[in-house]
Amino acid sequence: MLTVIGEALVDEVLSDTAPKRFHPGGSPLNVAVGVARLGRPVQFAGRYGKDEYGVLIEQHLRGNSVLVPLPADDLPTSVATAVLDPAGGARYTFELQWELPSLADALPRLLDGTTLLHTGSIAAMLRPGADAVLQAVERARPGVTISYDPNCRPSIITDVSYAREQAEKFVALADVVKASDEDLAWLYPQDSPQDAARRWLALGPALVAVTSGSKEHGR
């Protein structure tokens, strides 16, 4: 069983030239859905509200055979809104609620049978939920393989010193880390992606993979 802990949200796309579009998303939620579509058992521990968007997220998860062990709560579902200009450029705003008060009590049940735990993105950075996620990873660490993807969001977490410190906490607990070259350039502007990856390898993970889109870096 793979357990994913992280945020779920709805992406709203607004434009003067097309009807409003909305899609369930969030980096960890997308990981859970992707794994389920590969035919692997996976459960998603995140939060969403009892509102219309929360229903959309839950239907998306269950419709893709993702197990949903935590119930909807009374807070609004998180929303990322993209407003497109006539040229197609996007301006983003976020309405985020990230806390997981039920995670600690549910954790023994979540970890029963879990062999791999994945987390990252907003879930591992934005407080107060990030503190609960870190505690969950610390508790799982002795017997579970941990994967982590920082998937940094500088427009949401603006304090790079805090983000770097928080990322390093998760890297030190992880077995497998995936980061983009953009993540590493923001966190370590003085280092090359290779040097930043080596810095993280020294913290303890067995593997640090760096993606660079269409670009290639020398070894």
Residue 81 lies in domain: 1-102
Q: What is the pLDDT of residues 79-133, one digit of tens each?
A: 998 888 777 677 788 999 999 988 999 999 999 999 999 999 999 999 999 999 9
The encoded tokens of residue 89 equal 């450029």
| Residue 109 domain flag | no
| Residue 77 domain flag | yes
Are the C-beta atoms of residues 45 and 59 closer than 8 Å to each other? Answer: no
Kindly indicate the confidence band of residue 214, based on its pLDDT and cuts at 50, 70 and 90.
Answer: low
Are the C-beta atoms of residues 45 and 61 closer than 8 Å to each other? Answer: no
| Residue 111 domain flag | no
Q: What's residue 218's pLDDT?
A: 43
| Residue 192 domain flag | no
- Average pLDDT value over all residues in the chain: 93
| Residue 183 domain flag | no
Q: What is the pLDDT of residues 170-195, one digit of tens each?
A: 999 999 999 999 999 999 999 999 99
| Residue 28 domain flag | yes
Sheet holding 116-120, edge to edge: 42-45, 2-5, 116-120, 145-149, 176-180, 207-211
Tell me how far apart the terminal alpha carbons of the chain are, to the nearest angstrom: 34
Number of domains in the chain: 1
Q: What's residue 90's pLDDT?
A: 72
DSSP string, 34-97: HHHHTT--EEEE---BSSHHHHHHHHHHHHTT-B--S--BSSPPPEEEEEEPTTS-EEEEEE--
Q: What is the mean pLDDT of residues 7-18?
A: 88
Tally Cβ neighbours within 10 Å of residue 10: 23
CATH code of the domain in which 16 resides: 3.40.1190.30
Q: What is the pLDDT of residues 129-146, one digit of tens each?
A: 999 999 999 999 989 999
| Residue 18 domain flag | yes
| Residue 48 domain flag | yes
Using alpha carbons only, give the angle 23, 29, 32 rounded to the nearest 5 degrees.
125
> Would you put residue 82 in left (φ > 0), alpha (ψ -120 to 50) or beta?
beta
Q: What's residue 219's pLDDT?
A: 41
For tokens 């239907």, the residue is: 59
